């Protein structure tokens, strides 16, 4: 007996399910009316036939959907996307049928269905790209503005950008629903630079400037000249490079790796141990770029002249004094 009842229960459930499905998917008739409490995009269409609902939606929503524009404001700039430019169109019969089917499923409960609206996604994409191109600004690193006797820090600037994907999504929502705000103000992104003012300010504590025309090396501390030294610079045939560099290495009693150059004679391509009489790099070495650096010399009479093969020579007491005050990474301006 229990088996019979189980079979009967299953059959009954199947019949009810089929009836419900049939009720939801059965073809609508011209006379069928949308259930009470149903609206489409905020417009009450309850009790109307599909044709009547379509007429009402066409009169209240179709023109509005095709006319409304969307405005985007950001960074005191404004862009407007006209509905006509985005080919916005309300699918009236589909919206009416959507309301009818929703009313069947609602079983008397109030329900509001979304309008069936189409628009050109390509037009929206082009619109947001245009906004992004106009808004986008790369971040600017802080930089040192070094003169021979002073140092200033030019402050960094954050970048500016807008995330296109969320913006496209919000524009699409607005185009499809006239009740949503027509003015959008997307959040601006602020990309940070790699070199900020604070980080660079630490590097600006110590700066070296070299004025070749007066054979003067200046040590700047906290933006002001702290010490001044006389130096020798490169000969006309082997000039000291001009530009802004940084101290890349430091050595006490440096080994001299002799360049493969005719002026080096029989020592070319060899190395000379540090601290020896044959080594012209006396006491200290502060490397700058491509084998050029600041070092001591025992040829004191060359100080104040163009005598070196590109390096900056200093008297030994001076180079020792400078060495103690200059960390690796110290900016070097040579003019």
Domain residue extents for the chain:
27-119, 134-197, 205-334
pTM: 0.66
For residue 327, give Cα distances in angstroms to 112, 123, 146: 71, 56, 18
State the pLDDT at residue 203: 72
State the pLDDT at residue 81: 97
* Homologous superfamily assigned to 205-334: L,D-transpeptidase catalytic domain-like (2.40.440.10)
State the pLDDT at residue 16: 46
Task: Output phi, psi for 217, to 5 deg.
Answer: -110, 130
Active site residue 295: yes
Could you read off the pLDDT tens digit of each residue along the chain, which spans 335 residues?
A: 444 545 555 555 555 444 444 444 456 667 899 999 999 999 999 999 999 999 999 999 988 898 889 999 999 999 999 999 999 999 999 999 999 999 999 988 999 999 999 999 999 999 999 999 999 999 999 998 999 999 999 999 999 999 999 999 999 999 999 999 999 999 999 999 999 998 888 777 899 999 999 999 999 998 899 999 999 999 999 999 999 999 999 999 998 877 777 776 666 667 778 888 888 899 999 999 998 999 999 999 999 999 999 999 999 999 999 999 999 999 999 99
Active-site pick, 174, 207, 220, 311: 311
Q: What's the rounded Cα separation, in Å, for the pair 123 and 319?
A: 67
Active-site pick, 41, 295, 313, 315: 295
State the pLDDT at residue 303: 97
Q: What's the rounded Cα separation, in Å, for the pair 309 and 238?
A: 5
Q: What's the rounded Cα separation, in Å, for the pair 60 and 43?
A: 8
State the pLDDT at residue 92: 96
Q: Are 186 and 311 in contact (CB under 8 A)?
A: no
Q: Are 294 and 250 in contact (CB under 8 A)?
A: no
Active site residue 156: no
Token duo for residue 4: 């019979």
Q: What's the rounded Cα separation, in Å, for the pair 157 and 212?
A: 34
Q: Are 101 and 38 in contact (CB under 8 A)?
A: no
């Amino acid at each position: 007996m229990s088996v019979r009842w189980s079979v009967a229960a299953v059959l009954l459930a199947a019949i009810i399910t089929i009836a419900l499905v049939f009720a939801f998917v059965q073809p609508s008739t011209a006379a069928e009316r949308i259930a009470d409490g149903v609206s489409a995009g905020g417009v009450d269409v309850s009790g109307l036939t599909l044709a009547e609902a379509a007429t009402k939606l066409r009169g209240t929503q179709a023109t509005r959907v095709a006319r409304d524009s969307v405005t985007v404001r950001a960074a005191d700039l404004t862009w407007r996307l006209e509905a006509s430019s985005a080919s916005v169109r309300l699918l009236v019969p589909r919206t009416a049928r959507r309301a009818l089917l929703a009313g069947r499923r609602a079983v008397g409960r109030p329900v509001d269905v979304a309008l069936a609206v189409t628009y050109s996604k390509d037009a929206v994409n082009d619109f947001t790209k245009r906004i992004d191109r106009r808004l986008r600004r790369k971040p600017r690193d802080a930089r040192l503005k070094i003169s021979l006797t002073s140092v200033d820090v030019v402050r960094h600037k954050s970048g500016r950008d807008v995330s296109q994907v969320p913006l496209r999504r919000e524009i699409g929502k607005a185009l499809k629903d006239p009740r949503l705000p027509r003015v959008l103000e997307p959040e601006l992104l602020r990309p940070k630079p790699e070199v900020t003012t604070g980080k660079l300010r630490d590097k600006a504590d110590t700066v070296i400037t070299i004025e070749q025309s007066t054979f003067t090396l200046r040590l700047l501390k906290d933006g002001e000249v702290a010490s001044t030294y006389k130096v020798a610079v490169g000969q006309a045939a082997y000039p000291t490079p001009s530009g802004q560099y940084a101290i890349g290495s430091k050595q006490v009693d440096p080994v001299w790796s002799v360049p493969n150059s005719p002026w080096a004679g029989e020592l070319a391509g060899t190395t000379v141990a540090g601290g020896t009489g044959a080594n012209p790099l006396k006491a200290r070495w502060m490397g700058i770029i491509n084998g050029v650096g600041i070092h001591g010399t025992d040829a004191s009479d060359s100080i104040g002249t163009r005598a070196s093969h590109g390096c900056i020579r200093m008297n030994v007491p001076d180079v020792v004094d400078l060495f103690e005050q200059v960390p690796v990474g110290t900016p070097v301006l040579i003019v």
